[in-house]
C-alpha cells in the first residue's frame, strides 16, 4: 500500500509570511492528493486537492504543487494569518485508485501575530 511522509512536523511563521508543507508518496499509480486542515477538537476540513493530470492548483492564498516524477506534493500558504494556525494533513490513495486514503502524520502550523 501507499506510504505518505509529511514534513515538517511543526512549523512556526510570522503573520504575513509564507508557509510550505511537503509530502512524499511511494505509489507511482496514486492520482489524487488532498490537503486537510484540522483545528483543535474539530474534524478535518478539505482545503484543496489536486489530481495527477495537473501540476499546480491555486485557490486564493492556498496552492498545491505536484511533482509526479519525484513523487512529492506541497501545500503553499501565502500571506499567513493567525486563523491559519491548525494541523494540516496530506493524503494519498491507499493503492492506485483505491477509495481509501493514507494520511501523513500532520504538520502543526503556528502563525504568530
List contacts with other proteins (CB under 8 A).
32, 34, 36, 41-46, 49, 89, 93, 99-101, 103-106
* Residue that is written with C-alpha cell 492548483 in the block: 57
Minimum separation from the CB atom of position 16 to other proteins (A) = 27
Burial of 1 (0-12, 13-18, 19+ CB in 10 A): exposed
> Which residue lies nearer to other proteins by CB, 12 or 45?
45
Minimum separation from the CB atom of position 78 to other proteins (A) = 24
Would you state the cell numbers that stand for residue 47, as one nine-digit string? Answer: 482545503
Q: Any idea what the Cα angle at residue 31 is, between residues 1 and 45, rounded to 5°?
A: 90
Question: Could you tell me which of 50, 66, 60, 64 has the C-alpha nearest to residue 81?
Answer: 60
> Which residue lies nearer to other proteins by CB, 19 or 90?
90
> Which residue lies nearer to other proteins by CB, 39 or 79?
39
Minimum separation from the CB atom of position 11 to other proteins (A) = 15
> Which residue lies nearer to other proteins by CB, 43 or 113?
43
* Residue that is written with C-alpha cell 502563525 in the block: 111
Residue 10: strand pairing partners: 108
Minimum separation from the CB atom of position 51 to other proteins (A) = 8
Amino acid at each position: 500500500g501507499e506510504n505518505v511522509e509529511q514534513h515538517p512536523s511543526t512549523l512556526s511563521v510570522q503573520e504575513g509570511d509564507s508557509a510550505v508543507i511537503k509530502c512524499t508518496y511511494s505509489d507511482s499509480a496514486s492520482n489524487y492528493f488532498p490537503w486537510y486542515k484540522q483545528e483543535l477538537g474539530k474534524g478535518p476540513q478539505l482545503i484543496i486537492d489536486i489530481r495527477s493530470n495537473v501540476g499546480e492548483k491555486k485557490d486564493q492564498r492556498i496552492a498545491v504543487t505536484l511533482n509526479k516524477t519525484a513523487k512529492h506534493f506541497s501545500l503553499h500558504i501565502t500571506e499567513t494569518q493567525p486563523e491559519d494556525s491548525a494541523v494540516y494533513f496530506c493524503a494519498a490513495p491507499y493503492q492506485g485508485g483505491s477509495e481509501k486514503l493514507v494520511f501523513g502524520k500532520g504538520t502543526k502550523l503556528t502563525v504568530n501575530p
